[in-house]
Amino acid sequence: MKTAFLDRLLAARAAKRPVAVLTRLTDGEQLLFPEDAAPAELAAEAEAALAADAARNVTLGNAAWFIHPHNPPLRLIVVGAVHIAQALVPMALPLGFAVTVVDPRRAFATEERMGDRVAISTDWPDEAMTALAPDARTAVVTLTHDPKLDDPALEIALRSPAFYIGCLGSRRTHAKRVARLTEAGLTEAEIARIHAPVGLDIGAVTAPEIAVSILAQIVSARRGGPRKKQDP
């Protein structure tokens, strides 16, 4: 791999931009997708490899290509170190998510409650969210039921490329949330990105069941599944 090409790849990874290395096996020619132009069929295969997060071999015409996706790490940002978060965090880890729990209430945001495999931020949620900079591989879930904590995080998250944003609360609670976010200057399209009430409709009642419904919805959103909503 030429030095200039490697530098471009490393720069993309440092900036958390999803890219794929396309290598033509017959002569070693390489493209960095999507920065370099690629034929439509090859571009489609590269998009599919990035979406699946898995390398693949393809043959297009007389050329064989190896496609190696380089995605940023999967992340889950949870606002609110509450009981549902205690169930959600250990379930998310085996799915490959690096988890950060944000809660300025230091009595809640502790390693004893959240575990030692999660990052904990006790910054105010808007400050924490700005520092964490959600990208297209980030899911954000707000769980506090407190507008003073959830809304500042949402104002940052909804203007980010985060692939999933979910909020705990009933439909009535969400209607009030929509009014507040509209007043704060969020657009209808931005607010429509919220999955609320959060979670797939599986009849969840307990904190672990609600955590399962949330993770199922996150996986569905990541894999391009339908939007379904769950009343807590």
Tell me what the mean pLDDT of segment 112-122 comes to.
94
This prediction's pTM: 0.82
Residue found by looking up tokens 């490393």 in the block:
10
Domain boundaries, the chain: 3-70, 75-222
Looking at residue 67, what is its pLDDT? 97
Give 64-82 pLDDT, tens digit per residue: 999 999 998 999 999 999 9
Which of the four pLDDT bands, split at 50, 70 and 90, describes residue 226? low
Tell me what the mean pLDDT of segment 92-105 comes to.
96
Exposure string (b/e) for 147-165, b if CB count within 10 Å is 16 or more?
Answer: eebbbbbbbbbbebebbbb
Its CATH class, for the domain covering 75-222, is: alpha beta
Which backbone phi and psi does 153 adopt, to 5 degrees? Answer: -65, -40
Pairing of strands 19-24, 63-70: antiparallel
